[in-house]
Copies of this chain bind each other. A is one copy, B any other.
Amino acid sequence: MAEPLQPITRSPLYEVVAQRLQEFIAGQSLRPGDRLLSERELAEQLGVSRTSVRQALTALRVKGIVDVRHGDGVYLRQAPADLVPTLASEVANAEIDHPMIWEVREGVEVQAVRLAARRREPEHLDAMRSALVAMERSIAGGGDGVDGDRLFHRAIVDATGNRFFGFLVDLISDAMDRTSEASLTLPGRAPISLQAHREILAAVEEGDEDAAAASMRRHIMVSAEMVVGQQR
């Protein structure tokens, strides 16, 4: 017998309450925007203290299921989607290798630079320029310029004015860290990369989104080929 006795695990009360609330929401087919009962009413109906209800609501709030408004009430934020946690663990566990990540990165960054070229503001251009300067200085000193590289790409993402891209870039770099270190410091790569960045910046400055996209695509494909090729 593998499990002679099931280990007893008392779930904390607030967890039980949170689950009960989720079931209630799903069962009553409440719609996003609907208001839940007040904390005091929930506490009474569930037979627990208001503190426990509040803790459960905090959990639901963090999960993005519920929206708590001071002085107003608790509102439903979405249909209960256990999709997100599922997806998250999938990415963490799925066998995703370096080439796959580079392919995704290509799509995301090319689109980002398109938007950046369309909406560039002086501040973003400044950030990109100073990132390039940092890169040049590092390379001139024998470094790999990887910090400037990061800053440059981050500046592009910021210039999109679209938070979603920031999330994706974080996700991608996280996935990359997890697969292998695959250093970006290949001998002879830095000057090539620097030149590519200059092209991209020029296109963005001119607001030529097609040129920017093309340059970025080339840049990423070259980088991917170098890094992935090295692993073989």
Q: Please give the residue numbers on chain A whose beta carbons come within 8 Å of chain B beta carbons, in ascending order.
A: 12, 14, 32, 51, 54-55, 58-59, 61-64, 70, 77-81, 83-85, 87-96, 100-101, 103-104, 106-108, 110-112, 114-115, 160, 162-165, 167-168, 170-171, 174-175, 177-178
Complex contact A100–B162 (CB within 8 A):
yes
Q: Which of B12, B51, B89 meets A84, CB within 8 Å?
A: B89
Q: What residues on B are CB-neighbors of A160 within 8 Å?
A: 103
Q: What residues on B are CB-neighbors of A78 within 8 Å?
A: 92, 177-178
CA distance A175 to B167 in the complex (A): 13
CA distance A54 to B88 in the complex (A): 23
CA distance A61 to B18 in the complex (A): 13
Complex contact B83–A164 (CB within 8 A):
no
Show 25 residue pairs from A and B whose CB-CB distance is below 8 angstroms, ordered by the A residue: A14-B58, A32-B178, A58-B59, A59-B59, A59-B61, A59-B62, A64-B92, A80-B178, A81-B174, A83-B171, A84-B89, A85-B89, A87-B170, A87-B171, A87-B174, A91-B164, A96-B163, A100-B164, A101-B164, A103-B111, A103-B160, A104-B168, A107-B112, A108-B108, A110-B111
Q: What residues on B are CB-neighbors of A61 within 8 Å?
A: 59
CA distance A100 to B160 in the complex (A): 10
CA distance A96 to B58 in the complex (A): 21
CA distance A63 to B61 in the complex (A): 11
Across the A-B interface, the 4 shortest Cβ-Cβ residue pairs: A107-B111, A64-B92, A62-B62, A88-B88
CA distance A83 to B167 in the complex (A): 11
CA distance A174 to B70 in the complex (A): 27
Q: What residues on B are CB-neighbors of A55 within 8 Å?
A: 54-55, 58
Q: Separation in Å of the A154 CB from the closest CB of chain B?
A: 15
Complex contact A104–B111 (CB within 8 A):
yes
Q: Separation in Å of the A73 CB from the closest CB of chain B?
A: 15
Given contacts A32-B178, A62-B89, A107-B112, 10 further A-B contacts (CB under 8 A): A14-B58, A58-B59, A59-B61, A78-B92, A81-B174, A84-B92, A85-B85, A96-B163, A103-B164, A107-B110
CA distance A41 to B162 in the complex (A): 40
CA distance A94 to B64 in the complex (A): 9
